[in-house]
Amino acid sequence: MLHAEKIGKRFGARIVLRGLSFEIAPGSIAAIVGANGAGKSTLLKIICGLTAPSVGNVAWRDDKGEFAGRDLGRNCGLAAPDAPLPRELTALENLEFLARLRGLPCERETLLAHLDRWHLRARANDFAGDLSSGLRARLGLAAATLHSPQILLLDEPGANLDSDGRALLQNALQAQREIGIALVATNDAREADLCDARIEVTAGN
């Protein structure tokens, strides 16, 4: 269960989130919806530990205990437009780099099979910087799902995807139900319709 209690975030005088509470049960896909600037991306970054809330707390609770902060972040996979993917590395090298960071197996065929899941095997040796925006978006999704995270966090995941990419995204979300949960920050009705829960974020909440 992902549990958030009275999350608030302030940037100087500007309040982005105020008193936001929710619970997401395993097997659920939740849409985070709200206007641009309301705090959808900020909420995802709070959940995965990239930024701290000004007030409140968020934690993952299971039979192994409660995880928050960086421990919670280790259970997360984040795909976002500003997530760093070194452009000077190939698609395969990006996955190898992330696998080594997480202490995962780095066998070439294992990584190629994961790229194949996102229809990127033929681009394994292409530099990330040379990929189209849609293929970079797929590579970002491949990176976020590489370690089969219990909590998958997706920020506007379909923004640059074609119909094939959207089908792959839908398949990945359905597979995530067997692993844990997913939260999808989106203003796209097609993506929101893939979700069975909704978190409404308004400016200042």
| pTM of this structure | 0.94
Burial class of 57 by CB neighbour count within 10 A (0 to 12, 13 to 18, 19+): middle
Q: Determine contact, residues 139/91, Cβ cutoff 8 Å.
A: yes
DSSP reduced 3-state for 14: strand
pLDDT per residue over 76-93, tens digit each?
999 998 888 999 999 999
Evaluate if residue 203 carries a pLDDT over 90: no
Cα–Cα dist 131/77, whole Å: 22
- Give the contacts of 186 (CB within 8 A, at least 6 positions apart): 31, 32, 33, 40, 154, 156, 157, 158, 192
- What pLDDT does 164 receive? 97
Q: What percent of the chain has pLDDT over 90?
A: 85
Mean pLDDT score across all residues of the chain: 94
Res 108 pLDDT > 80: yes
pLDDT tens across 121-133, in order?
999 999 999 999 9
Domain ranges within the chain, ordered by starting residue: 2-84+135-200
What does the alpha-carbon distance between residue 55 and residue 71 come to, in Å, rounded to a whole number? 18
Any idea which fold 2-84+135-200 has? Answer: Rossmann fold (3.40.50)
CA 62, CA 3: separation in Å to the nearest integer?
11
pLDDT tens sequence across 40-73: 999 999 999 999 999 999 999 887 878 888 888 8
